[in-house]
Amino acid sequence: MNDYSFTSAPQLKRDPLGGCARRFRIKLTFLDRDYTHAPIRTFWDLLDHDVPEKRGAYVLLAASGTTFMYPRRQSSVFYIGQARNLRRRLLQHRRFAIVARDNRKEVLYWPRYEYAAAFGARYTFILAKPREKPKTLENELLAMFAEHYRSWPVANGTGGWGSLLTLAQLRRRQRSRLTSA
């Protein structure tokens, strides 16, 4: 029994990314077609993974089988962030999540650590393009997530309001997706 036994279970039982994320190349559903991400991997095994020391954005997801209810649909995503050094930043997140899970020293940790401790964690990342700032990439991912789910990821707080598209821009983008399909 852990400190999270009082926490209500996530509202949905089936994770659309499920356990098959390891066996098959699954793409995060909210990403536009021109974005590719690394395989979805277990957060706790991060030390054994080859995560580059490069700029980019990352997505933290609950353990396989766990999802959160958003206004439009379910998702296992609980946080989207950015880093100048993906490996160092993900290791930092892992370290704090382990403390929150196993050796609490504080009453409350940042939501990203609380969610990882309570619901398990997986991760993936997207490398920034050569002249792209990681913050710009993060804002684009947050905007795509908000467009798809009508909410920010539960552990992100305020999100990237400045990165949201206007309704006219959103309609143009949707039309261009239909014509390119």
Distances, alpha carbon 81 to alpha carbons 44, 137, 154, 161, in Å = 18, 9, 12, 15
Give residue 9's pLDDT. 37
Instruction: Report how many domains make up the chain.
Output: 1
Distance CA 158, CA 126 (A): 21
Min mean pLDDT across 27-41, 48-62, 159-173 is at 159-173
Residue 5 is assigned to a structural domain of this protein: no
CATH number of the domain bearing residue 175:
3.40.1440.10
Residue 12 is assigned to a structural domain of this protein: no
Instruction: State the residue range of the domain holding 155.
Output: 19-180
Residue 125 is assigned to a structural domain of this protein: yes
| Parallel/antiparallel/unpaired status of strands 122-127 and 56-61 | antiparallel
The structure tokens listed for 37 are 């991400």
Contacts of 149 (CB under 8 A, 6+ apart): 30, 70, 71, 72, 73, 75
Residue 1 is assigned to a structural domain of this protein: no
Residue 114 is assigned to a structural domain of this protein: yes
Residue 3 is assigned to a structural domain of this protein: no
Would the pLDDT of 24 be above 60? no
Single-letter code of the amino acid located at 141: L
Residue 4 is assigned to a structural domain of this protein: no
Sign of the alpha-carbon torsion through 28, 29, 35, 36: positive
Tell the residue number behind the tokens 């909210």, with chain if given.
Answer: 30
Residue 13 is assigned to a structural domain of this protein: no
pLDDT in tens, 50-107: 999 999 999 999 999 999 999 999 999 999 999 999 999 999 999 999 999 999 888 8
Tell the residue number behind the tokens 């940790």, with chain if given.
Answer: 109
